[in-house]
């Protein structure tokens, strides 16, 4: 949940700050948790490793796939599979309530790597 109350006008400075935190999680595992669906976990180890590397290197953000410029979603192809990643924000480590402000102190980010067919 990038934001429960998404603004209708994008504040580029705020969006860039959110994108930087999301990129830190996706690229370097900083500031949150990375999880995967059972289907991704069941992939052969070499395919899984390569998919994680592809996710970490992903930079094909466009207005179509990143309309809020927060880098909280991506889609890519690898090994004849289509993968998605999605970053949600939670108010605290219980992961029970979405964060109202993705830049608030204590926000926890969770990136989920999934096959498109999981969605």
The DSSP secondary-structure symbol of 52 reads H
C-alpha to C-alpha distance for 31 and 52, rounded to whole angstroms: 17
> What's the mean pLDDT when you consider all of the chain?
93
Q: Is the pLDDT of residue 18 over 60?
A: yes
Contacts of 48 (CB under 8 A, 6+ apart): 40, 41
pLDDT in tens, 24-44: 999 999 999 999 999 999 999
pTM of the model: 0.89
Q: Is the pLDDT of residue 101 over 90?
A: yes
């Amino acid at each position: 949940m990038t934001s429960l109350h998404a603004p209708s006008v994008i504040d580029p400075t705020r969006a860039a700050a959110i994108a930087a935190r999301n990129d830190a999680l996706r690229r370097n595992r900083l500031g949150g948790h990375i999880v995967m669906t059972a289907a991704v976990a069941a992939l052969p180890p070499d395919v899984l490793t390569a998919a994680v590397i592809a996710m970490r290197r992903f930079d094909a953000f466009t207005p179509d796939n990143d309309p809020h410029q927060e880098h909280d979603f991506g889609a890519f192809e690898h090994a004849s599979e289509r993968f998605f990643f999605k970053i949600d924000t939670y108010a605290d480590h219980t992961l029970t309530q979405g964060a109202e402000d993705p830049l608030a102190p204590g926000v926890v980010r969770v990136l989920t790597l999934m096959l498109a067919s999981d969605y």
